[in-house]
């Protein structure tokens, strides 16, 4: 079931001549047009307008943050279920799968879209099974267990027949989607509610950059505990850590903003590292903001626990295939590293990657809206969240 | 907590007069219960002065003047003593605290009326009046009104200003007195110029994270930019270069220092009845102390200074001054030549053996030694490329990048948080150092430890290049005990940030941008240290330190 999604080489190198930048921009627009045309070629599965709009918004930077993207995707998929014309569960699954695939291939970095698609397909399966069970009085064995995972080959090969039309499926699905929506809404709250369980008085906490869940978590901690010191690495070149610092500075905690170079020097005084992540990989590793690897490594050096805040929708059944990270990273505009107009920029290669891979052995604990989990337990959470057949969309 | 409260008490009198009761209420809010008694006393006083508000301040001052005219000049002289006593005493302080500003008023009535209008620049000018007078309380008083007059400033800043008020007074006198030695008559002049530019900066709230209270940033240094005739101009120039960071890097700083000392030696005139070497040593010691105010001395400078002290003690007593000067200058030149230039060449030639075709060398920041090594390797036509890791706030890597690019070496540049991204392709890491400590730890620009850490995790060898003149006797196990703090503004004002959310970080109560200059790399992260003597493990530093006295003669 290993799904090597990151095989497509998405790396782009920015070199610094204005002409090349122009060319790159042109390429980008060209690609986008191409992409839309590509979908037109296959007449059976065109991307819905809403999906195309979502892709466009994300690429343009209008829609940012994995939470917002997830909510939007969920919204669109819900509309597909309620509005689109489908007869059987199989038809619906195919429809959603196609749209999910389009999203995933257009936005390879935003794995949350694929995750939510998987989640909904699993939901369709479950609801269908449940309704079928009601009709035919079959004992419900849809719940996955470790035993079943091990013995999967023998008895689970008989895939169910989803092609029969089923009364009341649409209503049941919409009901259940409501549950997922409320889960999304409360998930940040649920994560931050656990702050007291992990943070004690006069603790020194280090974090990196700016993550929405980390901000809420720390705000809660500042409210509940006294004398906290929060050290924030600024995360150059965008320096989003400054935003976090400004947002937290109104509380009673002491805020220390450090440049990324001071992480190691400060780590000796830190009690806990709390970071957010972009997504969690199937092995429990992280795809987190650039610099997270250094933070985790320094924490390991000083035996400081690393706590990662990862709501369930960030868990993705994807393995990293390439140790050298090339295949799963993105490089952004390097103006922040060296100004374009400097002489050196003409000759030097400059990279400004966005993500860092953090191996699971450097992570101590995940905190999701469901509670705390060890990195070694992620596989189990995945098998509960998604159906094994949907790991590959 | 105890210090601000104490000062609050002593200065509440001033606040009473200068600010409305609302401000006082804020202050009251920040107080602790223990000072309730003094609070009650204050409230009584407020109710006395309350109905008049701003306009009444002038009347008040008149009243106080009347009082003072009775007490006459005696009070002025005693005012200073009273201010000192204010620290010791508790409640009585409020009275003595009042007495101090009253004295000012009597000295310059007009100035204080301008003060009543609450214009910040006005008092600064008005200070010149009393400052020109040679009377000794004049100077001390001159500062008081500037503090009190700043109605425009936020009250928060006031609270933090208050503790500085009394300590700074003697401190500033000391600062100007220490380097002066001669105590010229023109002293008030520089003092005046000192105060005017300095006030806006010192007024700023200086919040420092708890962990770093023991480290002093470059707070007092800017007060030293004066035409201080007692200090040799070459030292002032070097100090300014250190301060505005036009001379950085321990080698460059050491060379600048030695050149300055050389000019001092050349310009030195032995006073009558004094021995040449003794007088010169005392002189140089004063200058070095003065230089320390600009930036803490680098280890290389400390070692060079030790060397100078040593050669001064070794001078023959029977020769003429001019000959001795010549002798000294030669020795200093020899030090620069042997300890810095030749050592760099020796290290470079050693490292050359380690750089071979196809190498990808990663380096951090801007080290003159690494620059030398890489240029030498390029001259030898080795096919290698360089990855320069850069980091804010100084972005020194750009300087190294510029130098290497101009030599035609192919370079890649990344920021320090991308180190995990770039490390897989690296074959060797070359790092410069600020100093090597006796326990084998490497003191270098912040970030070096991180590079070594990540290099170790990718199994890439990390070589530290360091001349032996940077070896230090000190031992240290973390970067916080002893370090240098840079200007916090540098972090906030990095050029590439789009939204400068922290531009006015002083307005936040407990926020501190930390600009730590050095960090400490533990020896287990460093593969080897390359010195001019040999390639050694970090832990062999004490061996070098032990053999050095016999070999290099100091």
Handedness of CA B17, B23, B26, B27 (dihedral sign): negative
Handedness of CA B402, B404, B408, B409 (dihedral sign): negative
DSSP state of B247: S
What pLDDT band is residue A199 in, cutting at 50, 70 and 90? very high
pTM of the predicted model as reported, rounded to 2 decimal places: 0.73
What pLDDT band is residue B357 in, cutting at 50, 70 and 90? very high
For the domain that residue A127 is a member of, what is the CATH number? 1.20.120.420
- What does chain A come to in residues? 393
Instruction: Determine the residue of chain B that is closest to A330 in CA distance.
Output: B421
Cα distances from A268 to residues A300, B13, B271, in angstroms, run: 11, 45, 53
The distance of B525 to chain A (nearest Cα, Å) reads 10
Which of A262, A298, A338 is opposite residue B446, by nearest beta carbon?
A262
Which of A268, A291, A338 is opposite residue B478, by nearest beta carbon?
A268
- Quick count: other Cβ atoms within 10 Å of Cβ B459? 7
pLDDT over threshold 50, residue B21 = no
- DSSP string across A90-115: HHHHHHHHHHHHHHHHH-TT-HHHHH
- DSSP string across B251-286: HHHHHHHHHHHHHHHHH--PPTTS-HHHHHHHHHHH
Q: Looking up tokens 């230089």, which residue turns up?
A: B291
pLDDT for the residue A151: 61
pLDDT for the residue B469: 93
- Burial label for A13, CB within 10 Å (0-12, 13-18, 19+), is exposed
pLDDT over threshold 70, residue B197 = no
Which of A254, A258, A342 is opposite residue B510, by nearest beta carbon?
A254
B221-340, superfamily in CATH?
Answer: translation initiation factor eif-2b, domain 1 (1.20.120.420)
**Do the beta carbons of residue B412 and residue A223 sit within 8 Å?**
no
pLDDT over threshold 60, residue B218 = no
pLDDT for the residue B40: 45
The distance of B1 to chain A (nearest Cα, Å) reads 14
CA A21 to chain centre: 29
pLDDT over threshold 70, residue B170 = no
Identify whether residues A324 and A258 lie together within a single domain: yes
Q: Cβ B502–A242 below 8 Å, yes or no?
A: yes
pLDDT over threshold 90, residue B128 = no
Most A-contacting residue of B214, B421, B458, B492 (CB-CB within 10 A), to test interface:
B421
Please give the span between the terminal C-alpha atoms of chain A, in angstroms, as a whole number.
12
Torsion region of B58: left, alpha or beta (phi above 0 gives left; psi -120 to 50 gives alpha): alpha
Domain residues of chain B, as ranges? 13-126+133-161, 221-340, 355-552
> Cβ of A347 under 8 Å from any chain B Cβ?
yes
**Do the beta carbons of residue A385 and residue A306 sit within 8 Å?**
no
Q: Distance (Å, rounded) from C-alpha A265 to C-alpha B478?
A: 7
Residue B487 dihedral angles phi and psi, to the nearest 5°: -75, 120
Q: Cβ A245–B510 below 8 Å, yes or no?
A: no
Count of domains in chain A?
Answer: 2
The distance of A87 to chain B (nearest Cα, Å) reads 49
Q: Distance (Å, rounded) from C-alpha B264 to C-alpha B235?
A: 8
Identify whether residues A58 and A140 lie together within a single domain: yes
Q: Looking up tokens 């903001």, which residue turns up?
A: A289
HSE-up (13 A, CA, CB side) for residue B39: 14
**What is the crossing angle of helices A111-136 and A169-192, to 10°?**
130
Residues B265-312 pLDDT 10s: 999 998 888 888 888 999 999 999 888 888 889 999 999 999 999 899
What pLDDT band is residue A365 in, cutting at 50, 70 and 90? very high
What pLDDT band is residue B63 in, cutting at 50, 70 and 90? very low
Identify whether residues A293 and A273 lie together within a single domain: yes
Most A-contacting residue of B389, B406, B410, B415 (CB-CB within 10 A), to test interface:
B415
Identify whether residues A131 and A244 lie together within a single domain: no
pLDDT for the residue A215: 95
Q: What is the three-class DSSP state of B34? A: helix
Residues A247-260 pLDDT 10s: 999 889 999 999 99
> Cβ of A151 under 8 Å from any chain B Cβ?
no
pLDDT over threshold 60, residue B151 = no
For the domain that residue A364 is a member of, what is the CATH number? 3.40.50.10470
In chain B, residues 242-261 whose CB comes closer than 8 Å to chain A: none
Q: Distance (Å, rounded) from C-alpha A244 to C-alpha A215?
A: 7
Cα distances from B283 to residues A306, B131, B227, B261, in angstroms, run: 54, 30, 18, 10
Q: Cβ A294–B453 below 8 Å, yes or no?
A: yes
- Identify which of B34, B25, B26 has the alpha carbon closest to the alpha carbon of residue B6: B34
Within 8 A by CB and 6+ apart from A305, the residues are A272, A273, A299, A364, A365
Residues B420-440 pLDDT 10s: 999 999 999 999 999 999 999
* Six token digits for residue B21: 């009761």
Mean pLDDT of chain B: 71
**Do the beta carbons of residue B409 and residue B388 sit within 8 Å?**
no
- Chain A residues within 8 A of B495 when measuring between CB atoms: 339
Q: Cβ A356–B422 below 8 Å, yes or no?
A: no
Which of A234, A265, A351 is opposite residue B516, by nearest beta carbon?
A265
Identify whether residues A379 and A321 lie together within a single domain: yes
> Cβ of B419 under 8 Å from any chain A Cβ?
yes
The distance of A204 to chain B (nearest Cα, Å) reads 11
The distance of B462 to chain A (nearest Cα, Å) reads 16
pLDDT over threshold 70, residue A279 = yes
pLDDT over threshold 60, residue B8 = no
B355-552, superfamily in CATH?
Answer: Translation initiation factor eif-2b; domain 2 (3.40.50.10470)
pLDDT for the residue A329: 83
HSE-up (13 A, CA, CB side) for residue B75: 22
Q: Cβ B494–A293 below 8 Å, yes or no?
A: no
**Do the beta carbons of residue B486 and residue B515 sit within 8 Å?**
yes
Least confident among A127-136, A378-387, B381-390: A127-136
Mean pLDDT value across residues B185-202: 36
Cα distances from B123 to residues B87, B136, B199, in angstroms, run: 26, 19, 11
Which of B421, B478, B479 is opposite residue A351, by nearest beta carbon?
B421
Bigger pLDDT: B400 or B51?
B400
Q: Cβ A261–B450 below 8 Å, yes or no?
A: yes
pLDDT over threshold 60, residue B117 = no
Mean pLDDT value across residues A21-30: 44
- Chain A residues within 8 A of B402 when measuring between CB atoms: 342-344
pLDDT over threshold 70, residue B220 = no
Q: Distance (Å, rounded) from C-alpha B208 to C-alpha B188?
A: 32
CA A248 to chain centre: 24
pLDDT for the residue B420: 92
Most B-contacting residue of A10, A265, A346 (CB-CB within 10 A), to test interface:
A265
> Cβ of B450 under 8 Å from any chain A Cβ?
yes
Q: Distance (Å, rounded) from C-alpha B113 to C-alpha B123?
A: 10
> Cβ of B46 under 8 Å from any chain A Cβ?
no
Instruction: Determine the residue of chain B that is closest to A234 in CA distance.
Output: B491
Q: Looking up tokens 């270098």, which residue turns up?
A: B444
Q: Which residues pair with A349 in a beta bridge?
A: A15, B412
Q: Distance (Å, rounded) from C-alpha B147 to C-alpha B153?
A: 10
**Do the beta carbons of residue B58 and residue B29 sit within 8 Å?**
no
Q: Cβ B499–A243 below 8 Å, yes or no?
A: yes
Cα distances from B443 to residues B23, B145, B303, B475, B478, in angstroms, run: 47, 45, 15, 10, 10
pLDDT for the residue A88: 87
Which of B450, B453, B501 is opposite residue A246, by nearest beta carbon?
B501
DSSP state of A46: P
Which of A238, A255, A352 is opposite residue B418, by nearest beta carbon?
A352
- Chain B residues within 8 A of A324 when measuring between CB atoms: 424-425
Within 8 A by CB and 6+ apart from A29, the residues are none
Residues A288-346 pLDDT 10s: 999 999 999 999 999 999 999 999 999 999 888 765 555 578 888 888 888 888 888 88
pLDDT for the residue B393: 87
Q: What is the three-class DSSP state of A168? A: coil
Q: Which residues pair with A257 in a beta bridge?
A: A232, B513
pLDDT for the residue A238: 86
> Cβ of B424 under 8 Å from any chain A Cβ?
yes
> Cβ of A240 under 8 Å from any chain B Cβ?
no
Helices (H), chain A: 18-41, 49-60, 66-83, 89-106, 111-136, 146-150, 152-155, 169-192, 195-198, 212-224, 241-248, 263-267, 292-301, 344-347, 378-385
Cα distances from B184 to residues A85, B133, B221, B448, in angstroms, run: 96, 15, 21, 47
Bigger pLDDT: B244 or A350?
A350
Identify whether residues A167 and A197 lie together within a single domain: no
- Chain B residues within 8 A of A347 when measuring between CB atoms: 405, 410-411
pLDDT for the residue B324: 92
CA angle A97, A74, A210 (to 5 degrees): 115
Q: Please give the residue range of the domain that contains residue A107.
A: 2-189
Size of interface A-B (CB pairs under 8 A): 196
Identify whether residues A168 and A200 lie together within a single domain: no
Instruction: Determine the residue of chain B that is closest to A350 in CA distance.
Output: B413
Identify whether residues A143 and A161 lie together within a single domain: yes
Q: Distance (Å, rounded) from C-alpha B16 to C-alpha B2?
A: 21
* Six token digits for residue B311: 């050669």
pLDDT for the residue A141: 54
Least confident among B138-152, B247-261, B475-489: B138-152
> Cβ of A242 under 8 Å from any chain B Cβ?
yes
> Cβ of B504 under 8 Å from any chain A Cβ?
no
Which of A239, A254, A338 is opposite residue B210, by nearest beta carbon?
A254
């Amino acid at each position: 079931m290993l799904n090597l999604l990151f095989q497509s080489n998405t790396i782009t190198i920015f070199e610094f001549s204005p002409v090349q930048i122009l060319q790159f921009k042109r390429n980008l627009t060209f690609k986008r047009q191409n992409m839309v045309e590509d979908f037109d070629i296959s007449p059976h599965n065109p991307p819905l307008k809403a999906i195309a709009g979502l892709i466009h918004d994300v690429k343009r930077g209008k829609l940012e943050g994995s939470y917002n993207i997830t909510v939007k995707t969920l919204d669109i998929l819900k509309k597909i279920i309620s509005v689109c014309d489908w007869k059987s569960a199989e038809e619906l699954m195919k429809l959603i799968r196609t749209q999910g695939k389009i999203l995933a291939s257009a936005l390879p970095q935003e794995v949350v879209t694929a995750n939510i698609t998987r989640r909904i397909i699993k939901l369709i399966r479950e609801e269908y099974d449940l309704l079928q069970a009601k009709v035919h009085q079959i004992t419900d064995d849809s719940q996955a267990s470790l035993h079943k995972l091990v013995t999967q080959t023998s008895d689970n090969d008989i895939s169910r027949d989803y092609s029969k039309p089923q009364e009341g499926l649409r209503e049941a699905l919409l009901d259940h989607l409501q549950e997922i929506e409320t889960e999304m809404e409360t998930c940040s709250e649920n994560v931050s509610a656990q702050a007291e369980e992990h943070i004690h008085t006069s603790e020194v906490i280090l974090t990196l950059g700016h993550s929405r869940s980390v901000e809420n978590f720390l705000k809660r901690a500042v409210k509940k505990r006294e004398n906290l010191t929060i050290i924030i690495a600024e995360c150059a070149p965008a320096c989003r850590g400054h935003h976090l610092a400004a947002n937290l500075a109104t509380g009673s905690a002491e805020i220390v903003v450090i440049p990324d170079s001071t992480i190691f020097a400060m780590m000796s005084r830190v009690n806990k590292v709390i970071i957010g992540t972009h997504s969690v990989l199937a092995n429990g590793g992280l795809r987190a903001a650039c610099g997270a690897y250094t933070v985790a490594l320094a924490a390991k050096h000083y035996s400081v626990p690393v706590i990662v805040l990862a709501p369930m929708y960030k868990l993705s059944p994807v393995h990293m295939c390439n140790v050298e990270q090339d295949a799963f990273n993105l490089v952004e505009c390097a103006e922040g590293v060296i100004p374009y107009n400097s002489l050196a920029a003409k000759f030097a290669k400059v990279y400004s990657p966005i993500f860092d891979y953090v191996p699971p052995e450097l992570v101590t604990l995940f905190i999701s809206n469901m509670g705390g989990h060890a990195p070694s337990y992620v596989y189990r959470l995945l098998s509960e969240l998604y159906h094994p057949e949907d790991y590959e969309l | 907590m105890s210090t601000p409260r104490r000062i609050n008490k002593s200065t509440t009198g001033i606040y009473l007069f200068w600010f409305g009761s609302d401000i006082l209420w804020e202050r009251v809010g920040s107080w602790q219960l223990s000072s309730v008694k003094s609070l009650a006393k204050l409230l009584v006083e407020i109710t006395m002065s309350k109905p008049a508000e701003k306009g009444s301040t002038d009347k008040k001052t008149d009243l106080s003047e009347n009082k003072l005219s009775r007490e006459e000049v005696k009070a002025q002289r005693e005012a200073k003593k009273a201010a000192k006593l204010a620290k010791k005493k508790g409640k009585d302080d409020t009275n003595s605290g009042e007495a101090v500003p009253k004295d000012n008023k009597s000295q310059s009535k007009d100035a204080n009326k301008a003060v009543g209008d609450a214009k910040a620049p006005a008092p600064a000018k008005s200070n010149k009046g009393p400052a020109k007078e040679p009377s000794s309380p004049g100077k001390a008083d001159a500062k008081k009104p500037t503090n009190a007059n700043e109605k425009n400033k936020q009250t928060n800043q006031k609270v933090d200003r208050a503790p500085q008020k009394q300590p700074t007074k003697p401190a500033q006198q000391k600062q100007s007195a220490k380097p002066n030695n001669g105590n010229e008559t023109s002293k008030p002049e520089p003092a005046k110029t000192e105060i005017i530019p300095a006030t806006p900066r010192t007024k700023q709230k200086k919040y420092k994270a708890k962990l770093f209270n023991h480290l002093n940033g470059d707070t007092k240094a800017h007060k030293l930019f004066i035409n201080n005739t007692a200090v040799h101009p070459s030292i002032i120039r070097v100090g300014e270069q250190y301060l505005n960071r036009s001379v950085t890097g321990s080698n460059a700083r050491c060379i600048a220092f030695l050149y300055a000392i050389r000019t001092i030696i050349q310009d030195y005139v032995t006073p009558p009845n004094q021995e040449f070497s003794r007088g010169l040593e005392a002189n140089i010691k004063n200058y070095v102390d003065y230089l320390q105010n600009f930036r803490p001395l680098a280890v290389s400078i400390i070692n060079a200074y030790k060397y100078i002290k040593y050669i001064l003690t070794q001078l023959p007593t029977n020769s003429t001054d001019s000959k001795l000067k010549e002798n000294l200058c030669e020795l200093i030149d020899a030090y620069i030549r042997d300890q810095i230039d030749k050592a760099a060449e020796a290290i470079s030639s050693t490292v050359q053996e380690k750089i071979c075709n196809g190498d990808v060398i990663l380096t951090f920041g801007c080290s003159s030694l690494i620059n030398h090594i890489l240029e030498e390797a390029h001259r030898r036509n080795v096919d290698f490329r360089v990855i320069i890791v850069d980091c804010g706030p100084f972005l020194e890597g750009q300087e190294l990048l510029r130098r290497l690019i101009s030599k035609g070496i192919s370079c890649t540049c990344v920021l320090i948080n991308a180190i995990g991204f770039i490390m897989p392709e690296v074959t060797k890491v070359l790092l410069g150092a600020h100093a090597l400590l006796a326990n084998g730890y490497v003191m270098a620009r912040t970030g070096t430890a991180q590079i070594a850490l990540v290099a170790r995790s990718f199994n890439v060898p990390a070589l530290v290049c360091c001349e032996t003149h940077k070896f230090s006797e000190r031992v240290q196990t973390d970067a916080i005990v002893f370090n240098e703090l840079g200007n916090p503004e540098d972090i906030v004002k990095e050029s590439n940030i789009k939204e400068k959310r922290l531009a006015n970080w002083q307005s936040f109560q407990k926020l501190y941008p930390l600009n730590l200059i050095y960090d400490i790399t533990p020896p287990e992260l460093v593969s080897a240290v390359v010195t001019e003597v040999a390639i050694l493990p970090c832990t062999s530093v004490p061996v070098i330190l032990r053999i050095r006295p016999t070999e290099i003669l100091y």
